[in-house]
A and B are shown apart, each in its own frame.
Chain A
Amino acid sequence: MSPFCRTLVVAAALLLTACGRAPALPQSASAEQVELSAVPFFPQRDYQCGPAALATVFNYAGLAVDPEALIAEVYLPGRQGSLQVELMAAARRRGLVPYAVPPVFESLLATLRDGYPVLVLQNLGTERWPFWHFAVVIGFDGAADTIILRSGTTLRQVLSARKFLATWERAGRWGMVALAPGMLPASVERERYLRAATDMEGIAPPPALVAAFGAAVERWPDDAWAQVGLGNAYYVAGNRAAAEAEFAALLRSQPESVIARNNLAQLLGERGCRVAALALLDEGLAGHSIDGRGRDRLEATRREVAAMRGGGEHCPAPE
Chain B
Amino acid sequence: MMFSKLPGLLTPLVLVVSLVVATTVQPATAAMMGTAEMAPQARSEQLERVDRFLAQAQVRDLLLAQGVAHEDVQARVAALSDAELTMLSRQLDELPAGAGGLALVGAVFVVLVVLEIVGVINVFKGL
Contacts and interface: CB of A to CB of B under 8 A. Distances in A.
Interface in A1-28: 4, 7, 10-11, 14-15, 18
A111 interface: no
Contacts of B66: 76-79
Contacts of A151: 126-127
B22 to A, nearest CB: 13
Interface in B113-127: 115, 117-123, 125-127
* Most B C-beta atoms less than 10 A away, residue of A89, A194, A203: A89
Contacts of A228: 35, 37-38
A132 B99 contact: yes
B118 A85 contact: no
Name B's interface SS: loop
Q: How large is the interface on B (under 10, 10 to 19, 20 to 34, 35 or more residues)?
A: 35 or more
A266 B36 CA distance: 18
A300 B33 CA distance: 11
Contacts of A82: 97-98
B76 interface: yes
Interface SS majority for chain A: helix
Given A132-B97, A195-B39, A263-B33, A72 B79 contact: no
Contacts of B35: 197-198, 201, 213, 225, 228-229, 232
A159 B125 CA distance: 9
B38 A152 contact: no
Interface residues of A, number: 84
Given A76-B63, A133-B100, A153-B126, A89 B76 contact: yes
A297 B100 contact: no
Given A78-B66, A228-B38, A235 B126 contact: no
A85 B32 contact: no
B88 interface: yes
Contact of B100 (A10, A44, A126, A232): A44
Interface in A32-83: 44, 46-50, 53, 72-73, 76-83
Contact of A300 (B29, B31, B76): B31
Contact of B87 (A85, A153, A301): A85
Given A85-B88, A304-B30, A76 B127 contact: no
Interface stretch (B2-10, B12-20, B67-75): B67-75
Contact of B118 (A11, A235, A305): A11
A262 B31 contact: yes
B33 A259 contact: yes
- Shortest Cβ-Cβ A-B pairs, 3 listed: A81-B97, A77-B67, A78-B66
15 contacts: A4-B117, A4-B119, A18-B118, A73-B75, A76-B66, A89-B79, A124-B123, A125-B112, A131-B121, A134-B98, A151-B127, A159-B126, A198-B39, A201-B36, A304-B30
